[in-house]
Amino acid sequence: MIRWKTDRFAGWGRTAPALARAARPERQAELDAAFAGAREFGATLPRGNGRSYGDAAQVTDGALVLGTRLDRFVSFDPATNLLVAEPGATFADLLAAFLPRGLAAPVSPGTMYATLGGALAADAHGKNHDRAGSFGAHVEWFDLLIANGETLRCSREQNADLFRATIGGMGLTGFVRRLALRLAPASPFVRVKESRVDDLDEFFEEFAASRDGANFTVGWVDALAKGAQLGRGIFETAEYAPDAAQRPPGLRAPKPIPFDLPGFALSAPIVRGFNELYWRRVPEAGRTGERALDRFLYPLDSLADWNRLYGKRGFHQFQAVVPDGPARDAVRDMLEKVAATGNASFLAVLKTLGGEGHGLLSFPMRGVTLALDIPNAAGADELLASLEAIARDAGGRIYLAKDSRQSAATFRATYPRLAEFEAVLAEFDPEKRLESDLSRRLGIRGGPA
Amino acid sequence: MIWVVIGASSTIAREFARQAAMQGAGILLAGRDRDDLAANAADIATRANVPVRVEHFDLADASEHSALLESAHSFANGAEINLFLAAGTMPAQAEIDADPGLAAGTIVTNYTGAVLLLQRFAPVFEAQKSGTVIALGSVAGDRGRLKNYVYGSAKAGLHAYLQGLRARLVRSGAHVVTLKPGFVDTAMTWGLPGLFLVASPAAIAKAALTAAAKKRDIVYAPFFWWGIMSIIKHIPERIFKKLNI
């Protein structure tokens, strides 16, 4: 028997909780029952661990089918490194089971509590995008429960249109009931090279020097620095260190945020002071050290529920990618806007992306991506709108897994394969059973049914 | 060592089997839902490089108990046998009040079946002079109350039985843990009104393994339920009988 509960569900940014019904099947047979039963409540949407920031995993007055308890591994073939798993398995599960065997997810988002199903739906990218591409590139196939209750095997050969629509499709094609992911060799430690970056030009020099060489690259940028210091930050490159000693020597555990910081204290002067200290943490000459893989990939996970730092009103996350050509100017414009308002946190990330994803709505393109937390306070909407305009005018786009505010017009203008995506939905979900608050806001298939 | 996990389709048992396997134990999954057990077995075998076996098993059918014992012996192949007993059902009290026949099923799965099975397994622990039995009791067994008294009384009986079994087995070096979870976030409690301080199945499983390692006797999980139940147990009956809980 499937029991439904009514509750409020929000994204990680907690800006706009939506009232919805939710079922949480624990077995594959219960999934079919829940997915069918959802029909009587209106729009249906799969949801994982709620790690997307905006309104992608919620559907107001609809029915959510939660995948978190469909979290089992199905099989693993050591000859091919192909793992078959249910969608609710998380990157944390994967790390615990496979890192001791020298394997890890080939691509990992910034939190290990994201589910594999969620990473597929977002076509998530990681710190190794230049090298490895996004998550969907490593998915061999998946079984998709579609609107009419059938389950279809999708791969590059079989149901290839659904395959490409589901990768990055934000859950709008159906419920992925199991997926096959090819794991990649890894080791428990990485050797991280950190260097202080004085301004934006230096950041772009670092990108150019390392993007095709280093395995992992990521930059932290001081989003409140102005003038000559605009774009200063810390640039990190990292490689697996299979020769590392058991415990990483020297380097202290990374603390991107001071964990005892109270939520009400995230005001501009305090963040500015913090950023100054954080920047100076790395010596001027830079440094190299070994770090546990999980601490490198998921620095924020050492603080549970860090989204609560932003208080009840929550926060927006803005992430856009801009093609290489106009990237420097566009990023400069964005950082100037942010610094002028003072409405941004320390969690600002600048990094390069390597190329387009496999999905029709995949976010990445070859270029530079900037990600910022923006507290949901006065002026946030205006700031987001101006950042959106800069990204759009530079030929970039906004990441749907982070987005909470972009306009339907910007979305339609910046996702060139949207029409193909909508055509696949029209074929496999003619009744428009699957919807999310995001799909309604962005007018996917013309908005609400 | 191996863990025989009874009621292995339950969410707590699924988590327990995973965590025990990650510590290197072989796992025998016993329960009624064959497909689900097969999926759990594949999960465990993929996560942890340990032997896994599935047995179809109904705790309520005592004629199956000896077959499970034999299977455990052959699966263990000389290794230490441990038992995690998570079988049980919790129909709403209102349903039982409407259909007295449901009371029998509740008592069989939560009490009679458990006692008969543990009686059969007790000599195993005496013979091997080691090993642990973890049985899931419930805070509902600490005091009979309006909303849950048939289930609660079966668990209360189980608690008393486990105390006696503990005294019997300690003499040969084996150990019995009575684990009393509070509200746990499972399919059984999903969407029920009036729950608070709900714990994850993974946390309960972890508490079970810790209790076994530290040879704890009676453990509330999470621990603060000890305090809550201490208060509830001390409310005078003349007041308690009028409370709507």
Residue of B22, B36, B191 lying closest to A96 (CB–CB)? B22
Residue A97 contacts B where some CB pair is shorter than 8 Å: yes
Q: How big is the A-B interface in CB pairs under 8 Å?
A: 45
User: Worst-scoring range by mean pLDDT, A37-41, B30-34, B54-58, B87-91?
Assistant: B87-91
% of chain B residues with pLDDT over 70: 100
- Which of B111, B149, B151, B220 is catalytic? The answer is B151
Do the chains contact at B191 and A3, CB–CB below 8 Å?
Answer: yes
Residue A106 and residue A226 in one domain: no
Give tens-digit pLDDT for A71-118. Answer: 999 999 999 999 999 999 999 999 999 999 999 999 999 999 999 999
Residue span of the structural domain in which A117 resides: 73-186
Question: What is the pLDDT confidence band of residue A430, given thresholds at 50, 70 and 90?
Answer: very high
Residue A176 and residue A216 in one domain: no
- On whether residue A62 sits in a domain, the answer given is no
Residue B167 contacts A where some CB pair is shorter than 8 Å: no
Nearest chain A residue (CA) to B22: A97
DSSP state of A17: -
Q: Does B236 have pLDDT greater than 60?
A: yes
pLDDT, chain A, mean: 91
Q: Does A263 have pLDDT greater than 60?
A: no
> What pLDDT score does B173 carry?
97
Residue A166 and residue A213 in one domain: no
ipTM field: 0.91
Domain boundary (A133, A163, A186) is at A186
Q: Does A251 have pLDDT greater than 60?
A: no
Distance of CA B218 to the CA centre of its chain: 13
Residue A340 and residue A355 in one domain: yes
Question: What is the pLDDT confidence band of residue A448, given thresholds at 50, 70 and 90?
Answer: low
Contacts of A80 in chain B (CB under 8 A): none
Residue B146 contacts A where some CB pair is shorter than 8 Å: no
The Cα–Cα gap between B234 and A443 comes to: 59
Residue A252 and residue A230 in one domain: yes
Q: Does A174 have pLDDT greater than 50?
A: yes
Give tens-digit pLDDT for A208-232. Answer: 999 888 899 999 999 989 999 999 9
Residue A5 contacts B where some CB pair is shorter than 8 Å: yes
Give tens-digit pLDDT for B108-134. Answer: 999 999 999 999 999 999 999 999 999
Do the chains contact at A73 and B40, CB–CB below 8 Å?
Answer: no
Residue A385 and residue A402 in one domain: yes
Do the chains contact at B43 and A96, CB–CB below 8 Å?
Answer: no
> What pLDDT score does A312 carry?
78
Instruction: Tell me the C-alpha to C-alpha distance, in Å, between residue A125 and each of A103, A108, A135, A320.
Output: 18, 6, 6, 13
Question: What CATH architecture does domain B2-240 belong to?
Answer: 3-Layer(aba) Sandwich (3.40)
CATH number at residue A151: 3.30.465.10
Residue A233 and residue A369 in one domain: yes
Question: How many structural domains compose chain A?
Answer: 2
Do the chains contact at A74 and B39, CB–CB below 8 Å?
Answer: yes
Give tens-digit pLDDT for B1-13. Answer: 999 999 988 999 9
Residue A77 and residue A132 in one domain: yes
User: Worst-scoring range by mean pLDDT, A196-205, B90-99, B199-208?
Assistant: B90-99
Residue A187 contacts B where some CB pair is shorter than 8 Å: no
Question: Cis (ω within 30 of 0) for the bond into A242?
Answer: no
Q: Which 3 state secondary structure label does DSSP give B229?
A: helix
Q: Considering the entire predicted model, what is its pTM?
A: 0.93
B111 a catalytic residue:
no
Is there a contact between A167 and A123 (Cβ–Cβ < 8 Å)?
yes
Residue A27 contacts B where some CB pair is shorter than 8 Å: yes
Give tens-digit pLDDT for A227-239. Answer: 999 999 999 999 9
User: Worst-scoring range by mean pLDDT, A30-34, A310-314, B129-133, B172-176?
Assistant: A310-314
Chain A closest-CA separation from residue B90 CA (Å)? 14
> What pLDDT score does A413 carry?
97
Copy the structure tokens of residue A263: 């939520």
Contacts of B17 in chain A (CB under 8 A): none
Domain boundary (A162, A186, A210) is at A186
Kindly list the domain boundaries of chain B, sorted by start residue.
2-240
Copy the structure tokens of residue A299: 């620095």
Give tens-digit pLDDT for B175-201. Answer: 999 999 999 999 888 988 878 889 999
> What pLDDT score does A264 carry?
57
The Cα–Cα gap between A428 and A255 comes to: 46
The whole-number average pLDDT for the span B15-25 is 96
In the beta sheet, which residues pair with residue B64? none
The Cα–Cα gap between B221 and A379 comes to: 46
